[in-house]
Amino acid sequence: MGYNVGMITGTETQTVWRRARREDLDVLLDIERRSFDVPWTWGEMEEEFQLDYSRPWVAEQDGRVVAFGIHWLIAGESQLADIAVHPDFQRRGLGRRMMDVLLDDARALGMKKMTLEVRAENAAAIDLYLNLGFVETSRRPRYYEDRHDAVLMEISFEK
């Protein structure tokens, strides 16, 4: 069952939002490898389909997975674990829409907030998260494998 079917601005293509399935694994890993200098391994990605707390989602256009997002549900909070859009489909709003899907999923499941880490030099992602209502809570120096800093952000669902 799809989460939502909607039109992507400037195209005639409909996007179906649905929970990822194990058979999507190879496509998710391909998108991951095209998107990140230090991508998740096959084993790390495959494990997401075995973890009770992992909620992987995909965006599908014309039967093709073009984006994915994964969040974890831990102790009443959602943690953004991974999100990526295939390079051929970037700059069409899919990343923002995927975040909307993940945020809606977390709210519907009663989570109190969503947290995330993002590379400090990833200005586009930080802008997206700020526009969604996230706030910076702290920084972790030399957090990533390549020694880049992480910006920690969160959004509260509680009034």
Closest listed residue to residue 76, CA positions, set 106, 111, 108: 111
Q: Is 60 a catalytic residue?
A: no
Q: Which one of the listed residues 3, 32, 48, 129 is annotated catalytic? A: 129
> Cβ neighbours of residue 147 under 8 Å, at least 6 residues apart?
none
CA angle 140, 143, 148 (to 5 degrees): 100
| CB atoms closer than 10 angstroms to residue 3 | 19
Q: Is 129 a catalytic residue?
A: yes
CA torsion through residues 130, 134, 137, 140, sign: negative
Q: Which one of the listed residues 32, 48, 117, 154 is annotated catalytic? A: 117
Distance CA 66, CA 123 (A): 22
CA torsion, ordered 74, 80, 82, 87, to nearest 10 deg? 160
Residues forming the active site: 117, 129
